[in-house]
Structure 1
């Protein structure tokens, strides 16, 4: 739960804005749309209901901010993945970065792809572009894999979509608790990503070597908390 912070809604504070977004998304994830009220959100933030309107204009604006913040955090997670001389390992780390971000921000993840049904909110093309923009990181990595001769020549955008669709589906199953015991989630991700990589042309032995390299990198580039980012929840 976010720490209670007293603030005048007239003072625009990015930390308070982020806290309101996180609180609203958590209430939504835990209790459903009926919990999404200015009174409940303001009470948990330790401020007045006017703060919601000061920062977001409306409840619909708050839902839009949840979508944007969710994709912004995903983009920051992707930015932590280094570009190396093994672009396939980079791709594998990106796949786990997507998963890690979804688990760390599950309250926002639930809104990023379905917020159109909340508070009269409807996604615009500009809103969707926030999500599409994050895919460009994957497209760039696919392009490097093709140029390195690891992937067969093809459409980088199409391959990136295939990666996104498959990873997104497995993330949803994991977050929803639908993986059947004793299936291990980590093993599922490694198997899925390996299959995707080989499926677009990588050599099996080379793919296995890149997988080993990616495992060594995940703790530092994906799982470790960035020192510059305060933990707010």
Structure 2
């Protein structure tokens, strides 16, 4: 390995370490209470070293979002081969549920934790985040065109589907279902069954 290659690998390793530390601290302390100095102390770097890679903590938060959405989008695309759009819609919901249950930390940071997303405004278009929703919107639009679900505005229907599934996983991740004696952790199929019931209300 050349010196140039080694230096490039070291840079990538440092960047990965910074992101991992920030992810952990955001989850433990919250976004507001986590500072660049906190992250630097956690990995025994100087704050100046962190700033060589990221201009502010919001940029780190943005990168974490990008990684999360990339993982989710790859799962979505794997189901392109499903021809029936209603069946595909059901699979998207299950993928979303599974992603949240399997990656609760990512999901918390992506969809639940309160934090400013000013970095997104610096981009003309947020590809990673938009791609996930556009995939849902496209599938819903196909369902409507083929009259497989109750007529409605594609955007409104897509928002309703997303909101419903988000509500399910948020209750699960934050362990709110236990407060009403629903042991979803022992029976995650309850989430799938609830999703299937909701989708039946849309079907023609």
| TM-score band, normalised by shorter chain | 0.7 to 0.9
8 Å CA contact 1:52–1:62 kept in 2: the answer is: no
Gaps (5+ residues) in structure 1? 1-6, 203-233
The residue number in structure 2 matching 1:190 is 192
Gaps (5+ residues) in structure 2? 1-5
8 Å CA contact 1:10–1:54 kept in 2: the answer is: no
The residue number in structure 2 matching 1:80 is 78
8 Å CA contact 2:112–2:170 kept in 1: the answer is: no
Find the aligned partners of 1:125 and 1:163 in 2 and give their Cα distance.
Answer: 26
Q: CA RMSD in A?
A: 3.3
The residue number in structure 1 matching 2:3 is none
Q: Over residues 5-41 of structure 1, what are the superposed CA-to-partner deviations in whole Å (9 max), with x where a residue is unaligned?
A: xx9699542x543442233112221233476344553
The residue number in structure 1 matching 2:139 is 141
Q: Normalising by the residue count of structure 2, what TM-score does the alignment of the two structures yield? A: 0.74
Equivalent pairs, count: 193
User: Quick check: 1:174 aligned with 2:177?
Assistant: no
Q: Determine helix, strand or coil for the equivalent of 1:159.
A: helix
Find the aligned partners of 1:168 and 1:123 in 2 and give their Cα distance.
Answer: 23
The Cα of 1:61 is off from its aligned counterpart by 2.0
CA gap of 1:197–1:152, structure 2 versus 1, over 3 A, is same
8 Å CA contact 1:87–1:141 kept in 2: the answer is: yes
Worse-matched range after superposition: 163-172 or 139-148? 139-148
Q: Normalising by the residue count of structure 1, what TM-score does the alignment of the two structures yield? A: 0.66
CA gap of 1:123–1:34, structure 2 versus 1, over 3 A, is closer
Q: Determine helix, strand or coil for the equivalent of 1:188.
A: helix
Worse-matched range after superposition: 103-112 or 35-44? 35-44
The Cα of 1:165 is off from its aligned counterpart by 0.4
The Cα of 1:186 is off from its aligned counterpart by 2.7
8 Å CA contact 1:24–1:41 kept in 2: the answer is: yes
8 Å CA contact 1:63–1:115 kept in 2: the answer is: no
The residue number in structure 2 matching 1:122 is 118
8 Å CA contact 1:23–1:44 kept in 2: the answer is: yes
